[in-house]
Structure 1
Amino acid sequence: MSNLTDVNAEILAQLDKGSTIGISFIGAVASSMVYGVTCVQTFHYYRSPRVKTDQLWLRCTVLVLWLLDSAQSSFAIHLNYYYLIENYANPPGLLISTWSMPALIVMNALTSVLVKMFFTFRVWRLSQNVPIAGLCIFVTWACFVMTIYYPARMFSFHNLFDAESKLERYAVAGLALDAFAATLISSILIFYLYKGRSGMPRSDDMIGRLILLTVATGCLATLVAIGNLIAYVAAPQSLYVLFFHFLNAKMDANAIMTSLNSREYARQGSSYGKTLSTTVDSRTIPLSNFRAPAVERIYQGADNEAAVNSSEYKVDIDASYPK
């Protein structure tokens, strides 16, 4: 009994609760809040009239993302329940690697690859550049493989700290590729949108809205991915990385949800107060006549056409998600 007490005391002496189970709990609470946003976004998408004109694969993508996010939230709750409730006053239990941790990482990896491939498709629609799209695809799947390898190996370890020490290089590689892929795809999207400005105030206003949406959705997810990497490299013996890991996939999922639910905002003309659907004049000028023909492929799908109006012309632009 004395030996067991000594072991428990030694574990507690070496364990910083604030930077381990404490930050894990805070991350689970924060991710639950973001999960609520995901649910609202999903509900809003399926209630929108646009869902009827979206292709089946796009509607299924939203459903799959919501299911993955729900599973990830469940695993995060179980992970904290295991360490904080089941192993309360049981210090050796804090060293055990429970199944929900690698399962959570798998859910994150599946969400990440789905979201990144979605935005890679948009990169292709914008650029029509095979090497650039190929680079995005390669980095995305390399990230997926490295991320999946980590939890696959983690199942074979009983001790959490043994798993972390022996798999650290794979974790760093996966997190670095994730941050790089997110940065690469967001940067390319912003670059081609910016390049697609035509010099016409109203069409430029639409492109500005698209850039704003890309920055608001993609860059936030990118910052979380970078924070995930920094937290793991800077403090490998703590669980600060879990805080970002709980949020990472949810930011990715909400990037797609926000992008889909904000299509009307992107189509709403300019600050002159006229909506895109208002026809002022009789002449239609395709965007392919302008400096950046790639922009007309930016938003293919939901409505087929949108119009930017002025007293002399309206500009047709394909919607962003393919039929």
Structure 2
Amino acid sequence: MAVPINLDTTLGFLSHAVVLCCILYGAGCMQAWFYYRKYSKRDSWTVQTLVAAVIICDTCQIGFLYAAVYNYTVTNQGNPLALTKLDPNLIIELIFSGMIAFLVQHFYCYRIYALSKSWLLSGFVSLTSLGSLVTLYYFIGVVLSQYTELAQLALLDNVSIVTNVLGIVSDFAITFLMIFLLQRSKTGFKNTTDVLNRLIVFTFNTGIPTSLCSIVTLILLEGVPGTFIYIFVYVSMGRFYTNCLLVTLNSRDYIRQGLNSDLTSTSENYALSIPNNPLESRLEFAGTNSTTDGISIRIDRDIHTSSSKVRRRRSA
């Protein structure tokens, strides 16, 4: 059944959400500017299109979210009954939020496939992500076609729970599989192990924000049913996906610099090639050539070569 509207748990948290979203949106725009400034001539058109699509969806969501808050606080100022009505902008913005999550999750899904060459693992992640998007769009379709009161959103709490559970499964699967595949790729050499450890930590850190958002949303839906406190977290989730994607892309040179600094103090020559197309993240070891379409680590041990050269010089 529908629940009574409370100003603090609706408009109050919605206003907080707009402030947080604007802060994260600004950070995302700066990351996007940095990306295109540095990688526009290095990355393939597919990656650049992905970044552009995510930023466009991000901008559209902020616009619709702001329009909803403006309608409640400015257009209908002094009209408390307006708060009980459902502003369609508040639901339309979820279309773009869901698409951002879908695109970013499939970016990582493709990286899982590139590392594992397993359709089963990548397919599982893809299906959970698609399921989350489908249930979200079902929620949007039902609300826009049938509901006119804000309180009626509580009637679809079960759908919201399913959407968030699938999102949690997808995010955790991405983080776990990436860490597992990177861990499995270790060769035992100290330098490459250090590099992979950095990548593992980085993968874990970028997977945490979106997973926490889904978990907190689920807790709020179950812990305080009949309220709209979860709006504060849920509408901010798209910004976290955007920033995690851009941080992942923009960190490539940082990781490579860390590798280059180690080269001066080791007798093992190795190279980390972080690609023009980071959608393909392949790790190759022991004498393979670095590629331009995947993360590859090449290890060339020159110990035997160097010793043979020394012997030739002595004999001469």
Q: TM-score, normalised by structure 2?
A: 0.82
Corresponding residue to 1:74 among 28, 50, 63: 63
Does the CA contact (< 8 Å) of 2:270 and 2:297 recur in 1? Answer: no
Matches within 5 A, 1:146-225: 146-156=135-145, 157-165=147-155, 167-225=156-214
Tell me the amino acid that sits aligned with residue 266 of structure 1.
I
Task: Quickly say closer, same or farther: Cα 1:182–1:60, change in 2 above 3 A.
Answer: same
Task: Quickly say closer, same or farther: Cα 1:282–1:201, change in 2 above 3 A.
Answer: closer
Pair 1:35-2:25 in alignment: yes
Aligned match of 1:90: 79
Corresponding residue to 1:103 among 60, 67, 92: 92
Structure 2: which 5+ residue stretches go unaligned? 274-280, 305-316
Structure 1: which 5+ residue stretches go unaligned? 1-13, 288-292, 314-323
Tell me the amino acid that sits aligned with residue 137 of structure 2.
I
| Mapped partners of 1:184, 1:195: distance in 2 | 16
Tell which deviates more after alignment, 187-196 or 109-118: 187-196
Aligned match of 1:5: none
Tell me the amino acid that sits aligned with residue 159 of structure 1.
E
Extract structure 1 runs of 4+ deviating beyond 4 A: 278-287, 299-313
Corresponding residue to 1:143 among 132, 136, 152: 132
| Mapped partners of 2:13, 2:224: distance in 1 | 12
Aligned residues: 289
The alpha carbon displacement at 1:233 in A equals 2.3
Pair 1:295-2:283 in alignment: yes
Corresponding residue to 2:14 among 11, 24, 38: 24
Does the CA contact (< 8 Å) of 1:281 and 1:312 recur in 2? Answer: yes
Does the CA contact (< 8 Å) of 2:157 and 2:221 recur in 1? Answer: no
Q: TM-score, normalised by structure 1?
A: 0.81
Does the CA contact (< 8 Å) of 2:133 and 2:163 recur in 1? Answer: yes
Task: Quickly say closer, same or farther: Cα 1:78–1:285, change in 2 above 3 A.
Answer: closer
Tell which deviates more after alignment, 228-237 or 204-213: 228-237
* Identity among equivalent pairs (%): 22
Classify the secondary structure of the residue corresponding to 2:236: helix
| Mapped partners of 1:307, 1:123: distance in 2 | 20
Tell me the amino acid that sits aligned with residue 21 of structure 2.
S
| Mapped partners of 1:75, 1:54: distance in 2 | 31
Classify the secondary structure of the residue corresponding to 1:295: coil
Does the CA contact (< 8 Å) of 1:75 and 1:101 recur in 2? Answer: yes
Task: Quickly say closer, same or farther: Cα 1:83–1:305, change in 2 above 3 A.
Answer: same
| Mapped partners of 1:279, 1:58: distance in 2 | 35
1:72-108 CA distance string (max 9 Å, x none): 1111211211222222221221111111111111111
Task: Quickly say closer, same or farther: Cα 1:154–1:134, change in 2 above 3 A.
Answer: same
Task: Quickly say closer, same or farther: Cα 1:232–1:309, change in 2 above 3 A.
Answer: farther
Task: Quickly say closer, same or farther: Cα 1:307–1:269, change in 2 above 3 A.
Answer: farther
Task: Quickly say closer, same or farther: Cα 1:94–1:304, change in 2 above 3 A.
Answer: closer
Tell which deviates more after alignment, 65-74 or 14-23: 14-23
Corresponding residue to 2:255 among 266, 270, 287: 266
CA-based RMSD:
2.9
Aligned match of 1:132: 121
